[in-house]
Amino acid sequence: IKGYDPKAHFSSDGFTQVSTLDEAVIGADVVCALIEWPEIIHYDFAHARTASKQQWFIDARNQFSSNELKEVGFSYLGVGHV
């Protein structure tokens, strides 16, 4: 498991905090957007998409366009949406 947060720094067994958003999301099986930092909200997640595999985008804050993420190939789950 890899994670990125521009402000918080932490570590745990089985978790690696990376220094860039690219490192955290490019080619990931699942992207979980949990915070609302501008560099995350304005990131071009199409850049992180790998066409040869299924990738999930879990939007915990419902801050992203489900249609845009689906258009680039993510399976999308907005927390609280059906």
pLDDT digits (tens, 9 = 90+) for 20-49: 999 999 999 999 999 889 999 999 999 999
Q: What is the reported pLDDT for 81?
A: 67
Amino acid at 19: S
Is the pLDDT at 54 greater than 90? The verdict is yes
Q: What is the reported pLDDT for 9?
A: 87
3-state secondary structure of 74: strand
Please tell me the distance from the alpha carbon of residue 79 to that of residue 33, in angstroms, as a whole number: 10
DSSP notation for 15-30: BEE-SSHHHHHTT-SE
Is the pLDDT at 10 greater than 90? The verdict is no
Please tell me the distance from the alpha carbon of residue 67 to that of residue 18, in angstroms, as a whole number: 28
Q: What's this model's pTM, rounded to 2 decimal places?
A: 0.89
